Structure 1
């Protein structure tokens, strides 16, 4: 076990799994500094959230510019999610061991340089590789930011971390608009280059204002575990994407070998996690009623909600012929819905507990997905889709703060690692959803109708998670 010098990070006290150790209230003069720290890490999360949605708007333009099929150009979305899947748990553990600020700064540098390089990519293969590098930087932001905020907000960390749910909708508002504007007025390359000045400012602010945490490391980084997980997801993605060609069948040797490699890598990964003394994903965080249930919920939620969000602009353009800028603003409608209720959901979390807002939120997202798949009645296609997207946003705004904190309360002394694990499962779900959808769309004679049917499947998948919510350890009252 690694040892960490005493700082303000919450520690386990042997209390019940949902209990959070008592913290000393920060003096009034510390509040401005805490707010500044929160603002700085919020900039990083904002950039990450923008890049989760900004490419969706530009996907047809990238496809046309590079003469790439949709199932391969879709990798610009899925490889970003894969990079985050690998980076989040690893960054969570490293930031716990080596210091939040150091990991945060390295993440900012990697993200900024990769964004600059993406803007000058000359083919789809290069762009995909650079998006993977960009995702490693972006994926490391959330665990390190979670640790930084947790260190400085003490017993109020649940509300501060809950407000992260409002940052991503803001990125969801800005990202599609920026993406559509760049595609309409100039080029898709601008969606990456816009990150460069923001990233430089972020690095400067973090160097000056975020305090350095003192740590001492005694355990090794589990690179083998990272590699096995990467092979698992990458080979599964490649096999599914390969089916996108109309001439490829389910018995294609390339598909079968890719999926076989994924199965073997998955078996080796769990075998390794059981035997390695310090795996980058501790096996106790993968199973059991608490963690096992939340991991499965996050996986299905990522497929239904995050995967759906990445595909909305493509759906609007394919089925209804809506222009890129207008199609992008549909994600803005979803983000507005999230913002409308996220702050209220955070404020009410101590009274409602976790289960109720998750159940109501999931059902609301289900309704939005079903409406999205239907033929517009009495409204223009754009307005119909905007209303449906806003409804899904309301559901996400209700459910995300509760699901975020439900995982953290299971092991309050490992907040960064758990935040990374939570993001890993959500992004894994999104990867599967986008990979399968773009493959189906590539093979379909009617891409828009095919996506509508997939949205119905997403909705059913989300409803299937409701029984699992009742297994989530619930908690009310003061933490």
Structure 2
């Protein structure tokens, strides 16, 4: 049986032109999916005005896509087996592309949200399936490099979204952030049909054997959790009855889902794979990696736009050099893995470099920070992420065998996405709360009886009077300007706190690496989904 499985894997290895085309197809599909998670962020204001939606309504454009993504990722292995990997992959690309067209033509906000949810179902499937296809196309000795090539799309994608979205919105209109997917989706579909092959699967399950309850419970608890994370801060968390109700549903849904998957003969998600110690540690590290990746991708553009007054396009372009650095690092890391460099060391160095990035950002943040203060820290971030993604993934799967590798890959992908959701929710919550706290503390130090405070108010008052305002109007505007200055400074202090604690979180991850057992180093994620 083992020899047959190995022979089947060898049959899927590609060479020359075919492998290049399959690699391009898989990376293109991974990029399409991940760019779409962030490209809409800079277009929400335009969507809101065009479709006559409220801020709460338009936030569902992001939430619906994220919920669908996280629901479908752990089901990907099972769905590939049921329908055949190539068929499932091609169908996912077509679904994603058609829904991109429908999103661009939506006439109201709820049409757009519905199409984004279905688009997320197609997109989430692309991630894990693309990873499996690209790795199994390479011989075992070169699969570290294959993971590195795939990793370029996963790490670079989130930072390409904002500048690309900003450019399309500024020069065209918001539907074009969806229309841009259509030609790329058509090309990817043709290439996938022509070149991608499916492995031979075992017997498919009959309809009465399908874990329908598992699917329903997975969708219920993941969907509820994602909603709570996306909307918790703006709805005041557990002071809101809907958030409280969905939190209870999340907990009970998770408990019932675990019970169902552990007791059913044909589970939709094989939880027994988590008995592997390396995978358990790897899922924790993937969660933290997603936390840092998506969290920092969120707060840097917000900081540069809200505090420094940059445009959306400029804020997005700031992230590009760091992304290029990560892309440059990926093949180097893949080559190091092939040469047998211990991946634990790479992960430790990656976490340490990410800590240095957060420490430098903590020290450089002011209301007047320039590009020159942010460029090199973001290069450091790019190096750190490059050293983390591939080694964490391969270490997580290093002691798994056969089809369990694909099931493990689905868990690492899901935890990275969930880490991003938790990161964004926690960071936005603490920015709001710490800004209020710092504002109270700063105002407490602004004693109107102090000579320095009186001098500053008088100077600002004279400045407004020179522009033609009356004495009383100028005094009122001086107080408003001082209050704005305090708010701005308190916001900067909250961002500094975020970077400080984010750095400490990554520093604390280094000792966890000691618990990883030595695996077979040459990981074969392509045994996945057999």
TM-score (norm 1): 0.85
- Correspondence for 2:370: 381
Shift of 1:61: 4.1
**Could you say if the C-alpha distance between residues 355 and 68 of structure 1 is closer, same or farther in structure 2, counting changes exceeding 3 Å?**
farther
Equivalent pair of 1:338/1:394 in contact (CA under 8 Å): yes
The Cα of 1:67 is off from its aligned counterpart by 6.6
1:89 aligns with 2:78: no
Identify the match of residue 135 of structure 1 among 92, 117, 120. 120
Q: Relative to 1, partners in 2 of residues 1:431 and 1:377: Cα closer, same or farther, differing over 3 Å?
A: closer
2:286 aligned with 1:298: yes
**What does 1:281-296 align with in structure 2 at a 5 Å threshold?**
281-296=269-284
5+ residue gaps, structure 2:
437-486, 524-530
Q: Tell me the residue number matched to 1:163.
A: 149
Q: Is 1:325 matched up with 2:313?
A: yes
Give the distance between the partners of 1:134 and 1:116, measured in 2 at CA: 10
Q: What residue in structure 1 maps to residue 101 of structure 2?
A: 116
Give yes or no for contact 2:233–2:425 (8 Å, CA) kept in 1.
Answer: no
Which stretch shows the higher mean deviation, 68-77 or 214-223? 68-77
Which residue of the partner structure matches residue 507 of structure 2? 463
Q: Deviations over 1:109-142 (max 9, x none)?
A: 1110121122233444443333222222111112
Query: SS at the partner of 1:420?
Result: helix
Q: Which gives a bigger RCO, structure 1 or 2 (Cα 8 Å, sep 6+)?
A: 1
Cα displacement string for residues 364-406 of structure 1 (whole angstroms, at most 9, x for unaligned residues): 1222234334544798433433333322111001111101212
SS at 2:238's partner residue?
Answer: coil
Alignment partners' CA distance in 2, 1:145 and 1:34: 13
**Structure 2 residue corresponding to 1:200, chosen from 186, 198, 212:** 186
> Which structure 1 residue ranges, 5 or more long, are not aligned?
11-22
Q: Are the structure 2 counterparts of residues 128 and 348 from structure 1 closer, same or farther at C-alpha, using a change threshold of 3 Å? A: same
Q: How many Å apart are 1:53 and its aligned residue? A: 3.2
Alignment match, 1:41:
26
Contact 1:92–1:418 (CA<8 Å) still a contact in 2?
no
Deviations 1:430-458 (CA, angstroms, capped at 9, x unpaired): 11222344455677665954455334333
Distance between the aligned counterparts of 1:358 and 1:370, measured in 2? 18
Q: Give the aligned partner of residue 280 of structure 1.
A: 268
Query: Which residue in 1 is equivalent to 2:391?
Result: 402
Secondary structure of the structure 2 residue equivalent to 1:470: helix
Change (3 A) 1:265 1:38: same
Structure possessing the higher radius of gyration over alpha carbons: 2
Q: Is the 8 A contact 1:97 1:216 kept in 2?
A: no
Tell me the secondary structure at the aligned position of residue 281 of structure 1: coil
Q: Could you tell me which residue of structure 2 aligns to residue 215 of structure 1?
A: 201
Q: Are residues 7 and 78 of structure 1, via their aligned partners in 2, closer, same or farther at CA, if it must alter by over 3 Å?
A: farther
After TM superposition, give the deviation of residue 42 of structure 1 in Å. Answer: 1.9
Q: Structure 1 residues 212 and 349, CA, compared in 2 at 3 Å: closer, same or farther?
A: closer
Higher helix fraction (1 or 2): 2
Q: 1:254 to 1:49 in 2, by over 3 A?
A: closer
**Structural RMSD (CA):** 3.3
Task: Determine the structure 2 residue equivalent to 1:175.
Answer: 161
- Inter-CA distance 271–471: structure 2 relative to 1 (3 Å threshold): same
Deviation at 1:472, TM superposition (A): 2.1
d(CA) in 2 for partners of 1:426, 1:154: 26
CA deviations on 1:228-285 (whole Å, 9 max, x unpaired) are 2332233234345554347x46343333222111111111111112111222221222
* Deviation string, structure 1 residues 307-362 (Cα, Å, up to 9, x no partner): 33244323321222210100111331331221232211111014222211111111
TM-score by length of 2: 0.78
1:271 counterpart residue number: 259
- Alignment length, in residue pairs? 463
